[in-house]
Amino acid sequence: MKNNRKYRMYQKRIVYAVCLMMLVVSIMSCSHGKSLWSKYERPDSLLHATATSSALRDAAGIEGADSVGFGGVKWQEVFTDPQLRTLIEKGLEQNVDIFEASANVQKMEAALKAARLAFLPQVTFTPSGTLAKVVSGDKKGDWNKSYAMPISASWTIDIFGSILATKRGAEVQLEMMKDYQHVTRSMVICGIANCYYTLLMLDRQLEILNDMEALTAETYRMMKLQKDLRGAKETAVISAQAANLSVKTDIIDMKRQIRETENTLSTLVGMHAQSISRGKLADQNLPENFSTGIALNVLSARPDVHAAEMKLANCFYDVKKAQSAFYPSLKITGTGSFTNSMGNAVSNPGFFLANFVAGLTQPIFMNGRLIAQLKVAKLSYEVAEKEWRQIILEAGAEVSNCLVEYNSSKEMEELERRQVEALAKSVDYTLMLYKMGTSSYLEVISAQSSLLNSEISQVVDEFNKMQAVVNLYSALGGGRE
């Protein structure tokens, strides 16, 4: 009875101590808890920046749909060439960067799961057994057996939001990893598309060079015939031959560029260097008719912009964790054990033991470590805020540049087309005049050279327009599933 009375008295003291600690903690949490438990909100200065359309010179849409809609279009709807689709699908399956980005997302998912489980008690089971025997002297006897099977549970009560801040930080880090995965996916898709269109451009330029090689070869043959029949100058024949050889040299170089581009595309797709099956430049059909004047908040669809804000949010929660480290932490530990050994008893029947401990830890002097951690966390937050603002500005400039390139290439392509038509007629007329003896061989060669350069420029402008569409799609966060 006396022992039971003492045990109940100890229990009451423990309860009183825990209640006192909880009261102190509650008072402190009421005065400071609001700021420590607060959730990330976009700063007012950045909120104003994202609402200001003047920060973005041009944004884009398609036929009445804004640019956010274009960035959200599935890549299969943007790139309709079946051979290009096959290459992109292979790239998404085999690209190493995409695999690494996916693995990083899975690692962060595991980290977030661990952060959520931190709210639950930690439970451990540590069974043990002992054999004891007196082997000399008067008390020598049999083996004595004792055992204990304790289960312990410890629970850290998240009074000042440290565990909550860690969990929220893990959540935004997961979002950030998903954004990086999206960025990698978009880069692979648009990289393959640009490389594919480069191949189509080079193929078209090779066709032009082959046609020009046949034309200059015919001019060379005509010059030799004119020399034999009418006594034309030898310089005319030599100049025509040089022009033909120059085009043949360009053909060899163009074939080299095609082979190198095929090798690059094979690497992007994750294949050994090989010939790439492809269509023709004239058969491609990409979105057109872009509009301008959309506000800056369309850039929120970009994964890198969102990732930058998630980094800012993570720094915000780092500040909260650093602030909560100044306040006390409450840890409750309970242990239950089934044992046959207690006190001086060596051998007795098994019975249950229970133990309950509550501890409050208040940092007082930590060698300046807590102050330094808080200062570092606040500085990191300020840096992340400025980085996020800078990424928004760069994203706006990138979208504007893509639109400028698209519109300029479209206008130039039309002008080049008309120029090619005029120069083609000029070549025909100059050849007729030369055969009639009213034009010089220099005029013929000059007209052919101008036509070749104009045709090549027209193809380049067509390619630049297509590339601008691909880059605009990437700049607006395209490449989703």
Which pair of tokens denotes residue 170?
A: 């893990």
Q: Are 438 and 31 in contact, with CB atoms under 8 Å apart? A: no
pTM to 2 decimal places: 0.75
From its phi and psi, is residue 31 left (phi > 0), alpha (psi between -120 and 50) or beta?
alpha
C-alpha Rg value of the chain to the nearest Å:
39
Per-residue confidence band for 200, with pLDDT thresholds at 50, 70 and 90: very high
Element (H, E) at 290: strand 290-291
Instruction: Give the chain's end-to-end CA distance (angstroms, integer).
Output: 73
Q: What contacts 330, CB < 8 A, 6 or more positions away?
A: 21, 22, 25, 156, 157, 159, 358, 359, 360
Q: Of the segments 37-41, 80-84, 96-100, 397-401, which one has the largest average pLDDT value?
A: 80-84
- Measured CA to CA in angstroms, residue 57 lies from 68, 395, 398, 401, 466 at distances of 16, 11, 10, 9, 21
Q: Are 299 and 389 in contact, with CB atoms under 8 Å apart? A: no
- Tell me the C-alpha distance between 290 and 73, whole Å: 14
Amino acid code (one letter) for 296: L
Per-residue confidence band for 60, with pLDDT thresholds at 50, 70 and 90: very low
Per-residue confidence band for 266, with pLDDT thresholds at 50, 70 and 90: very high
pLDDT for residue 53: 41
| Crossing angle between the packed helical segments 234-269 and 162-230, to the nearest 10 degrees | 160
* Proportion of the chain above pLDDT 70, given as a percent: 77
Q: What does DSSP say about strands 351-361 and 290-291: parallel, antiparallel, or unpaired?
A: unpaired
Which pair of tokens denotes residue 378?
A: 């606040």
pLDDT tens-digit profile of 136-181?
A: 666 666 677 777 778 887 777 777 778 888 888 888 989 889 888 8
- Of the candidates 318, 356, 364, the residue with the CA atom closest to the CA atom of residue 337: 356
- Tell me the C-alpha distance between 43 and 51, whole Å: 12
CA atoms within 13 A on the CB side of 326: 16
Whether residue 369 is predicted with pLDDT greater than 80 in this model: the reply is: yes
Which pair of tokens denotes residue 458?
A: 């027209």
Specify burial of residue 340 (Cβ count, 10 A radius: 0-12, 13-18, 19+): middle
- Measured CA to CA in angstroms, residue 342 lies from 146, 297, 346 at distances of 9, 70, 8
Give the mean model confidence (pLDDT) for residues 257-285. Answer: 91
DSSP state of 355: E
Average pLDDT, the chain: 78
Give the mean model confidence (pLDDT) for residues 108-132. Answer: 79
pLDDT tens-digit profile of 12-27?
A: 555 555 555 555 544 4
Whether residue 313 is predicted with pLDDT greater than 80 in this model: the reply is: yes
Which residues partner with 409 through β-bridges? none
Which residues partner with 128 through β-bridges? 148
pLDDT for residue 345: 42
pLDDT for residue 394: 86
- Residue 305: CB atoms within 10 A of its CB come to 20
pLDDT tens-digit profile of 316-338?
A: 988 988 888 888 877 778 787 77
pLDDT for residue 59: 44
Least confident of 195-199, 243-247, 431-435: 431-435
- Residue 35: CB atoms within 10 A of its CB come to 12
- Residue 75: CB atoms within 10 A of its CB come to 22
